Amino acid sequence: MESHIPALLAWYTAHDRQLPWRVRKGRANPYHVWLSEIMLQQTTSAAVAPYYEKFLALWPTVQALAAAEQNAVLAAWAGLGYYARARNLHACAQVVVQQYQGQFPLYYDDLLKLPGIGAYTAAAIATICAGQRVAVVDGNVMRVIARVFALDRLKPKLEHEVRARLTPLIPSDPAAFAQALMDLGNQVCTPRNPKCEVCPMQPACAAFSAKTQELYPIKSIKKSKETRNIAIFAVIRNNTEILLRQRTEKGLLANMIEIPSAGWQNGYEANTSHALNDAPFRLPYQLLPTSYTHVFTHFTAHVHVWLAHVGSTIDAPSDMWFDSLTTAHTHALPSIMKKGLEIVITHKNNIVSPTPCG
């Protein structure tokens, strides 16, 4: 492979992706690289770009992000998923300001000590922003190297071997090398139907020689996802407000804003009257005709929506509040709750509950 690195770098010069966080010459801004890399975890660059630009507009520096309210950060993040990333993002910004005077540490080992920064992100910042010779191994890079060397390993052993193979090959421009491999995996050495005919690494690729490109990386057998049943209880006041609350500080969707919900486990009877025992008010709720699913990493949520109307004399419980139906979506509502909110708004005028019970 080493003899083909110049061809790889030449390919990168001609075909590198134009990404808002990438610079062609000089060292990149570590705040920009860090922000983009955290967002890119489990998310495509196309989906990340508008969020990245929104974050920079709201918080152009790490100091500004550190000073922001966590709920504001979660609200801006809503829709990107994997919300622990947003909480770690905010925590990391505060550590950088408090312990490093607002200057990101650039050494790999120091970066690993920061909240939410793992081996890949630390390597990306150290390499792209400081030119350190550290192997940057993301999914694209792992696929390229697994094919070039025909590595028959499963994660995490594959990741360790890829890093070991790459480290002695890193040339004098580590940033260009890292980004070239990432772009090659994204544009040419794709999971299916790789474009081997235009790949600069083709002559060195063991998988290409054996015509086994799509067998690498070796895939483990995926377990089928379980289904969890959820009930959400939409309480509409004066036909203009909806009851909301903040989730707890730990667990799934921690600190996010939600329409009060219950269940979150398989076997929960979310679409029967038993669920109403978990509702925030004793009201004559009606089950809306539209349910929906939402896919998380480890399970699929099947959500049923219950709706009740109340008048202006009803106050929210102490840990909840009524908020405008027209602006509720601007809060830190996760996507699963935004779907429910849309259904409630669609059906709220079709179902009008009678006077509250008891």
The radius of gyration of the chain's CA atoms, rounded to the nearest angstrom, is 25
Cα distances from 263 to residues 32, 187, 238, in angstroms, run 39, 42, 27
- Annotated active-site residue in 37, 159, 241, 258: 37
Structure tokens at 244: 């909301």
Q: Are 225 and 218 in contact (CB under 8 A)?
A: no
Question: Which of 115, 209, 126 lies closest to 167, judged by CA?
Answer: 126
| Dihedral, CA of residue 249, residue 87, residue 236 and residue 260, to nearest 10 | -30
**What does the alpha-carbon distance between residue 154 and residue 74 come to, in Å, rounded to a whole number?**
34
The answer to whether the Cα torsion of 308, 313, 318, 319 is positive or negative is positive
For the question of residue 37 being annotated catalytic, the response is yes
- Residue 95, classified by CB atoms within 10 Å of its CB into exposed (0-12), middle (13-18) or buried (19+), is middle
Cα distances from 315 to residues 74, 235, 311, 319, in angstroms, run 26, 11, 9, 11
Q: Are 232 and 202 in contact (CB under 8 A)?
A: no
Where helices occur in the chain by DSSP H, the ranges are: 5-15, 30-40, 45-58, 62-67, 70-77, 84-100, 108-111, 119-130, 139-148, 157-166, 174-187, 206-210, 335-347
Task: State CA 45 to chain mean position distance.
Answer: 11
Contacts of 25 by beta carbon, 8 Å cutoff, 6+ apart: none
Which are the catalytic amino acids?
37
